[in-house]
Each structure stands twice: as C-alpha cells, then as structure tokens.
C-alpha cells in the first residue's frame, strides 16, 4: 500500500474516532417488550421488561411493568431480542504490525504495542457488540493505559483481561520473552503478575519440562496458565494442570499413530504448512481424537478454537469477506502490513491452498466433538493477526462453528456465560439477571434460530449506557 493511501486511511480512522464518548449513564434505563435469549435452555422468554440503574441490571419483570418503567428512560424494543454482550477470548487488542528493524547490523523482527490501534480496535469491538475480551499475549503497560482510559471515561471500549508477552524459548520484541530455565520462568511469571497480568501465556517452543515449570509458576502466583501448543500433545499438557488451550491446531506428532507420524515427518515443511499437512494424517474420529475428547472431558480446559484465523488463511488466495471486513474495519497500519507481506500463508502455492481447504472438514468435525464436551468452551478470533478485523470477526467465528455443526445455543453460551465463568467474572458478567453488569446486545432477530442474527444489532448497552444505531455506526467508522 502506498504511503499516501495509508495516510488517508489513518486520517479517516482518526476522524471516525472523534464522536461517541464513554460518559456514564444518568438515571434509570428500561428496555421494555423484549425477549431474553436463554441460551442455557435453548429458548427465548416471553416479552419482558428489563431495568438498568447505573451500570447494573436491577429488575426483570413482565413487559409493561409499571415498577420496571417508573422514573426511567423507557426504550420500547417491540419484540426484539436481548442477550449478554459478547466476549472475545482471543483478541490482541494493542498489537501493532509485525515489522523488521536493524539492530547491531542485523534484522530483528518485532511487533510493538500501539495505543492508536488499541483505540481503533476498541471502538469497533463495541460497535459489533463485543463488550469484554481477553488479550492472551500483549504489552502489559499498554494494557494498563487502555484500562485507565476506559475507567476514566475518556475511551469507549470493552473490559479487558490480559496476559503479558508469551513466554517461549526465544525473544520476539513486543510479543515474546524467553525462559530457558526454571529460574527464568519463575522470574518471568512473577514480573508479569506484578505488572498486572490476569493470565500467563505459554508458547510452542517450550519443552515439556519448561511448560510444566510455567504452569506451576503461574499457579504459585495465583494465575491461570493458557498455552498455544504443537510439540506437546494436549492431553499431556492438561495432565500437567494446564488451565487453557488456544487454537484448534493440536498438531503434535504424538497425536499421530507411528505410521502416520513417520509419513508426516518425512515430508513436513514446518511453519504454517503444518496447519494442513498435519491434518492430512489425522483422523478426527480415530483413537487419538478420542483421546483429545476424553482429556477435555476430564480436565475441562478453557478453550477457544479461533477457526476464523485459520480459515482466513486457507482461502487467502481468493476474494473473501475476510478481506472485505479487514478493508473496512482493521486499522490501516495492520491492513498495510498484511497486504505488504505478513500473513499465515506466506510462501504458499496454489496447490497448498487446495490442500488446506481439503482438510477443513476434519477441523470442523474436531470442533463439533470438542464443543460437545463439558470443557469450558469459549470463542476467540486472534484479532489483529492477518485478516482478523475487530468485532466482526467474532461473528464470523460463530458462523464457522455453526457451519461445522455446533448447536447455536452452545455457541451463544461460549460467547457469553462460559467465557465470563472462565475469566472468573461469572458472578457479574455473561448473564441477564438482577445484580449483573449491564453489558447487553439488542438484536432484531432471534440468534437461536440462525447464528447470523447476531449481526443484526439494533443497539448495545455498555456499562448501562444505551448505544443506538447512529452511535454504533460512528464506533465502526461508518
């Protein structure tokens, strides 16, 4: 992308950010004549009246209730549908572009935090109904600045739960720090907790021993550990008391039978080629898949599949809605980075895309099996990675899961109640009940009948403040 185009996009983004404010609500708000989506029962309620005072839900009565409407601003929702605000459990809110810089005569890769990108992302997340997120790997100082601005009302944005830079076997400025010994792991975890980390994120390059030391260090400091794994098989990591796993890419050689493992390793090119080459040798209904399902049922990890991140790569050789959405909603610096060079399909040839799409039904089948377990299944997007635009990509994730065959009620629970529980905030987020925080999504159609209806957003209530269509359009930059 030419610099002049990038400059124009940055200006447009800045202008679009100037309107909607995050002022706290004044007086009571009543949402009347609305069906409450009861995903846990796969049904919707009769028409109800929901009262909000300050930032909390205070009562739920039958539609038209005088006590519910008394001395409040009343919004007649005329039979629309109300559900909790959405939660993205895998959103790199503050992440900047992946770039190279010169250091002592050599090229060093980095992806530094960017507050302007965080603000851009935050507004669009709210515009698409995402009121809470987990950032599973980022700059904790940037996260702290963001939370302070949301708290003082100077920025419209979701509530955030944060991990620091991922802990791996090598440094990547802005993204990862190295911990090669148990002492280094202990120090890294301690420093992240002191800096405000809610989660500890462990990464693919860690040996089983170092992964275990990271899990143990996180628990000693009172934090859950989540991991992106490939070499270590998921059941083995869960047996170490790992709390969470990200990405439906369980691409460990230890999950292939001996003949399949030998065949894969003989031809494996590594890197992102493994996103499809490994699956060519894996049976989602075979014994290894059964082992995965059993481990999820036993250990109940927090899990987000991020199907959208992989599917966007698998169809990158085509004109797609992912590219269209990124063009409309991604920050210009990130968009330019993806168009310039950084994607998950760097170096892929036409035949690689064909092979990637051929294994997609296996990914879908594994998603259905895992989301049918009693594990703490949530939703995530890997926002700020290639073609993953803020907010709208969570709706794409829900559609991909529905296309795979996951029931809509389970998808909606994964996006709300399950995620709130996983974050340790299930006593105040993710449900519509008196005493809970008023982060709500008003829809024009019932999402239980078709998951695409989550896109039919009539309004968002954020911390008790009603944001109608005009406000949401401003937040999305439209």
Domain residue limits, the chain:
19-85+431-472, 87-422
Q: What is the signed CA dihedral for 392, 398, 402, 405, rounded to 10 degrees?
A: 140
pLDDT given at position 23? 60
Percent of the chain topping pLDDT 90: 93
pLDDT given at position 7? 46
* Residue 320 confidence (pLDDT) above 90: yes
pLDDT given at position 105? 74
pLDDT tens for 270-304 read 999 999 999 999 999 999 999 999 999 999 999 99
Q: Tell me, rounded to whole angstroms, the distance of Cα 96 from its chain centroid.
A: 17
pLDDT given at position 212? 98
pLDDT tens for 176-193 read 999 999 999 999 999 999
Q: Please enumerate in sequence order all residues whose Cβ is within 8 A of that of 70, keeping only pairs 6 or more positions apart, or say none.
A: none
Average pLDDT over residues 6-18: 47
For residue 16, name the pLDDT band (cuts at 50, 70, 90): very low
Tokens of 266: 């003989």
- Are β-strands 166-168 and 130-135 bridged in parallel, bridged antiparallel, or unpaired? unpaired
* Residue 31 confidence (pLDDT) above 60: yes
Average pLDDT over residues 237-256: 98
pLDDT given at position 20? 74
Domain 19-85+431-472 identical in fold to domain 87-422: no
* Residue 4 confidence (pLDDT) above 50: no
Q: Which CATH class is domain 87-422?
A: alpha beta
* Residue 380, CA distances (Å) to 99, 151, 239, 249 in order: 24, 24, 24, 14
CB contact at 8 A, 374 and 300: yes
pLDDT tens for 43-63 read 999 999 999 999 999 999 999
Q: Please enumerate in sequence order all residues whose Cβ is within 8 A of that of 266, keeping only pairs 6 or more positions apart, or say none.
A: none
* Residue 136 confidence (pLDDT) above 50: yes
pLDDT, mean over the chain: 95
Average pLDDT over residues 376-401: 98
Q: CATH assignment of 19-85+431-472, given 3.30.420.130, 2.30.40.10, 3.40.50.1820, 1.20.1070.10? A: 2.30.40.10
Q: Give the integer Cα–Cα distance in Å for 214 and 25.
A: 42
For residue 262, name the pLDDT band (cuts at 50, 70, 90): very high
Q: Give the integer Cα–Cα distance in Å for 244 and 237.
A: 10
CB contact at 8 A, 391 and 379: no
Average pLDDT over residues 442-461: 98
b/e sequence 95-115, b meaning 16+ C-beta within 10 Å: bbbbbeeeeeeeeeebbbbbe
CB contact at 8 A, 264 and 206: no
Phi, psi of 230 (to 5 degrees): -140, -55
* Residue 11 confidence (pLDDT) above 60: no
Q: Give the integer Cα–Cα distance in Å for 134 and 243.
A: 14
**SS3 of the chain:** CCHHHHHHHHHHHHHHCCCCCCCCCCCEEEEEEEEEEEHHHCEEEEEEEEEEECCEEEEEEECCCHHHHCCEEEEEEEEEEEEECEEECCECCCECCCEEEEECCEEEEECCECHHHHHHHHHHHHHCCEEEEEECCCCHHHHHHHHHHHHCCCCCCCEEEEECCEEECCCECCCEEECCCHHHHHHHHHHHHHCCCCEEEECCCCCHHHHHHHHHHHHHCCCCEEECCCCCCHHHHHHCCCCEEECCCCCCHHHCCHHHHHHHHHHCCCHHHHHHHCHHHCCCCCHHHHHHHHHHHHHCCEEECCHHHHHHHHCCCCCCHHHHHHHHHCCHHHHHHHHHCCCCCCCCCHHHHHHHHHHHHHHHHHHHHHHCCCCEEECCCCECCCCCCCCHHHHHHHHHHHHHCCCHHHHHHHHCHHHHHHCCCCCCCCCCCCCCECCEEEECCCCCCCHHHHHCEEEEEECCEEECHHHHHHHCCC
* Residue 429 confidence (pLDDT) above 60: yes
For residue 199, name the pLDDT band (cuts at 50, 70, 90): very high
pLDDT given at position 312? 98
Average pLDDT over residues 455-466: 98
CB contact at 8 A, 436 and 422: no
Q: Give the integer Cα–Cα distance in Å for 19 and 477.
A: 10
Q: Give the integer Cα–Cα distance in Å for 105 and 466.
A: 54
């Amino acid at each position: 992308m030419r610099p002049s185009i990038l400059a124009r996009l940055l200006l447009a983004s800045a202008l679009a950010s100037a309107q909607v404010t995050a002022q706290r609500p004044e007086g009571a708000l009543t949402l009347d004549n609305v069906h409450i989506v009861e995903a846990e029962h796969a049904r919707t309620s009769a028409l109800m009246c929901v009262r909000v005072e300050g930032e909390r839900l205070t009562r739920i009565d039958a539609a038209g209730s005088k006590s519910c409407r008394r001395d409040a601003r009343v919004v007649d929702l005329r039979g629309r549908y109300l559900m909790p605000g959405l939660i993205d459990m895998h959103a790199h809110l503050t992440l900047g572009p992946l770039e190279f810089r010169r250091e002592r005569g050599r090229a060093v890769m980095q992806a530094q935090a960017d507050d302007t990108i965080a603000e851009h992302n935050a507004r669009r997340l709210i515009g698409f109904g995402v009121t809470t997120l987990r950032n599973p790997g980022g700059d904790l100082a940037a996260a702290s600045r963001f939370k302070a601005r949301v708290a003082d009302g100077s920025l419209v944005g979701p509530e955030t739960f944060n991990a620091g830079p991922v802990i791996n076997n090598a440094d990547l400025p802005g993204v990862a720090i190295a911990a090669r010994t148990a002492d280094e792991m202990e120090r890294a975890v301690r420093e992240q907790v002191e800096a405000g980390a809610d989660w500890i994120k462990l990464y693919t390059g860690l040996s089983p021993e170092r992964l275990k030391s990271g899990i143990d260090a996180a628990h000693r400091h009172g934090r859950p550990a989540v991991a992106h794994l490939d070499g270590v098989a998921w059941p083995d990591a869960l047996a170490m008391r790992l709390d969470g796993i990200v990405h439906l890419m369980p691409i460990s050689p230890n999950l292939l039978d001996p003949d399949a493992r030998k065949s894969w390793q003989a031809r494996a090119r590594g890197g992102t080629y493994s996103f499809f080459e490994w699956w060519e040798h894996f049976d989602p209904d075979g014994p290894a898949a059964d082992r995965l399902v059993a481990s999820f049922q036993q250990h109940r990890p927090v899990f987000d599949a991020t199907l959208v991140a992989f599917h966007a790569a698998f169809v990158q050789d085509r004109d797609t809605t992912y590219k269209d959405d990124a063009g409309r909603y991604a920050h210009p610096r990130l968009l330019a980075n993806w168009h310039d060079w950084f994607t998950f399909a760097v170096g892929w040839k036409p035949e690689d895309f064909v092979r990637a799409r051929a294994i997609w039904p296996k990914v879908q089948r594994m998603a259905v099996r895992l989301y049918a377990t009693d594990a703490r299944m949530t939703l995530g997007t890997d926002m700020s990675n290639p073609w993953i635009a803020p907010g709208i990509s969570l709706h794409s994730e829900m559609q991909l899961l529905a296309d795979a065959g996951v029931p809509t009620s389970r998808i909606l629970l994964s996006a709300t109640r399950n995620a709130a529980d996983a974050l340790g905030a299930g006593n105040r987020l993710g449900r519509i009940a008196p005493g809970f925080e008023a982060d709500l999504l008003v829809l024009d159609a019932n999402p239980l009948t078709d998951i695409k209806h989550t896109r039919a957003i009539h309004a968002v209530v954020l911390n008790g403040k009603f944001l109608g269509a005009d406000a949401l359009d401003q937040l999305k930059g439209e």
